Amino acid sequence: MAEEPVPNGNMPRGGDDVRQALVALNLVHGDRGVICALAQRLNTAGELRNDRFAEEAARSLEAPLDRVRTILLAARGRLDDASAELARASENGVEIVTLVDRNYPPALADLGLQAPPVLYVRGRLSQAPGISIVGSRKADAYGLEVAAWFARRLAAAGLVVISGFARGIDQAAHRSALAARAGTGSTTAVLGCGIDVDYPRNSRRTAAEIARHGCLITEFPLGRQPRPNHFPIRNRLIAALGFASVVVRAARRSGSLITARLALDLGRDVYAVPGSVLSRESAGAHLLLRDGAIPALDPDAMLETLPTSILARLERASKDTAEPARSASTGVSEVDDLLGALREGARTPEELASRLQRPVPGVLATLARLEIDGLVRRYEGANYALTTR
């Protein structure tokens, strides 16, 4: 299939009728690659009925004309369903973001013709840079510990931890990211099913927590059940949303290796955690290391080598969220205010409580959690100061 740049999500291409047409196209079962590519060219809803559009699209995509016509015909038949889908999503607190919407994630533009036409989002799409952490569902204690360590430290630095919400490494990364920054760390879960489907089973509580401090995201319509072919499709979003990917545990045949290869194709850095040479679940990571992946040995070392562009985005994201958080009196405000006070020098809990006009026990509790996160350190005389790397 011929490749062309994906249109910028900020470019106006019609109004609600185009959004409805994109949702209808996304509802169609069929060749996912052709569906995504057709969405890039759709400028008006009327093009679903335009045979000339079908012919030109088939020619430029090097796709069979009958396949393109079949997909467009199916999308025309789903326009009423798309209207109902938009209403149902709104009723359930789910935002539908399409290619023509301004808040469509710019990182997905790197997917070119394979960028999803529609995203279902529960929670808030963050403007902060994200880093993907992936690995085996059958992780051992070592893998889970490493995933939690990296996720917690990277989230504590303000990065959004992105993973696939599967059991094992993925959910360990999500939970540890949420625990960072005194319980206000951010994470994004990319799903291989509809956003309203409880999968993995009995994960609704974790999903709700993620939505409060980050977001759940999927390209699959409401109610769409997980299928084996959904997960490689999902993996390209995990690879694209992160500026880098960390593979913790992966067998030789693993979805995590698919994510890593997709990340490399997109020009992202790929890190791999070394493990025992006797472990089948480390074999995939070792293959990545053999082929040039960066050894993931210490999250703090990774943070020290962040690109300047990522550091600049972290700073912008921090400024963008500081004022809303402060006005809403959330935990983020308390953490940021306390860290801001410590930037001026070491302080005792009593001094911090007086300066921030907060109870001493609350300040002590926040300091304790920040100390676990590795952001502050206690010195002699009960003085607390920012940790220096």
Question: What does the pLDDT average to over 271-296?
Answer: 95
Given a cut of 90, is residue 367 above it in pLDDT?
no
Exposed / middle / buried, residue 278 (Cβ in 10 Å: 0-12, 13-18, 19+): exposed
Task: Report helix angle 349-356 to 331-342, nearest 10.
Answer: 120
Percent above pLDDT 70 for the chain: 92
- C-alpha dist (Å) from residue 205 to 193, 208, 243: 17, 5, 28
Whole-number average pLDDT of the chain: 90
Exposed / middle / buried, residue 280 (Cβ in 10 Å: 0-12, 13-18, 19+): middle
Instruction: Choose the weakest-confidence range: 38-52, 99-113, 285-299, 332-346.
Output: 332-346
pLDDT band at 14 (very low <50, low <70, confident <90, very high): low
Nearest Cα to 183, choosing from 376, 368, 320?
A: 368
- List of residues 6+ apart from 349 with CB closer than 8 A: 360, 363, 364, 367, 382, 384
Instruction: Choose the weakest-confidence range: 100-104, 121-125, 214-218, 309-313.
Output: 309-313
pLDDT digits (tens, 9 = 90+) for 175-206: 999 999 888 899 999 999 999 999 999 999 99
pTM (two decimals)? 0.85
Given a cut of 70, is residue 287 above it in pLDDT?
yes
Given a cut of 70, is residue 324 above it in pLDDT?
no
Q: Where are the alpha helices (DSSP H) in the chain?
A: 16-27, 32-41, 51-61, 65-76, 79-91, 141-156, 169-183, 204-213, 230-241, 255-265, 283-290, 299-304, 308-328, 331-342, 349-356, 360-373
- Give me the pLDDT at residue 5, please: 41
Instruction: Choose the weakest-confidence range: 11-15, 65-69, 87-91, 170-174.
Output: 11-15
Question: What does the pLDDT average to over 297-313?
Answer: 91
- Give me the pLDDT at residue 43, please: 93
- Give me the pLDDT at residue 11, please: 41
Given a cut of 80, is residue 117 above it in pLDDT?
yes
